[in-house]
Amino acid sequence: MSASPTAPRPRSTASGPTAARTLTATLRAQVLSGALAPGTPLREEALAAAHGVSRHTVRTALAALAGERLVTAQEYRGVRVTRLDDDEVRSLQHLRAALECEAVHLLASRHGAPWPDAVVAPVRAAVDDLAATDPADWPAVQRAHAAVHLALVAAAGSPRLTSAYAALGAEVALLLLHARPRYDVAGLVAEHAAYLADVQTRGAAAVREHLTHLADVLHPPV
């Protein structure tokens, strides 16, 4: 989908940080819904005209999205929507695994196996929320999926670990967008319910197996 407008919009009345936050949210939603496909060029002049903002506002918004790794800037090629290749997918999954494994290690050291129901309940509730999402609303599915993993990490009770994992939220949502043709909500729910049971007994091995599976779904090993 082209980012170029058919006609310029009136200049926004918002200014400064407010306009940049609004544009960032708009572009983020377009990327994570697939409206802006992987590899789509994001040109400052076209975006400024389309959204009625200054080019400085566009640059600020694109910098924020680059910080979330939703767009990439390359010399001579400009800014484009991120296209997750095999190396990027596996690098992200390795980072997620490191954080989730540490959370699971903390949970096991405190609670043994299986974990107490008070610990498991928030994660189970997140899986139930995933089951209740509208399959046609994939951004909602992305958020619910991310909430399952974040709930698991948060159960370890480490604010810094939870904050580090939450910072990956947009990139994880982009990952699930790439996986959409291969998944449905029912499949995600079944997989994550099984993961919650498995991780309590097998710990880090279950984490790595679960996250490697998604990488293999997107980019089958040769």
User: Domains in the chain, start-ordered, CATH in brackets?
Assistant: 16-81 (1.10.10.10), 86-218 (1.20.120.530)
**What pLDDT is recorded for position 221?**
77
Dump pLDDT digits (tens) for 76-124: 789 999 999 999 999 999 999 999 999 999 999 999 999 999 999 999 9
**Six-digit token string for 60:** 């600020």
Tens-digit pLDDT profile for the chain (222 aa)? 444 444 455 554 455 679 999 999 999 999 999 999 999 999 999 999 999 999 999 999 999 999 999 999 988 789 999 999 999 999 999 999 999 999 999 999 999 999 999 999 999 999 999 999 999 999 999 999 999 999 999 999 999 999 999 999 999 999 999 888 888 999 999 999 999 999 999 999 999 999 999 888 887 776
pTM (predicted TM-score): 0.85
Dump pLDDT digits (tens) for 57-72: 999 999 999 999 999 9
| Separation CA 181–CA 177 (nearest Å) | 8
The count of C-alpha atoms lying within 13 angstroms of the C-alpha of 24, restricted to the half-sphere facing its C-beta, is: 21
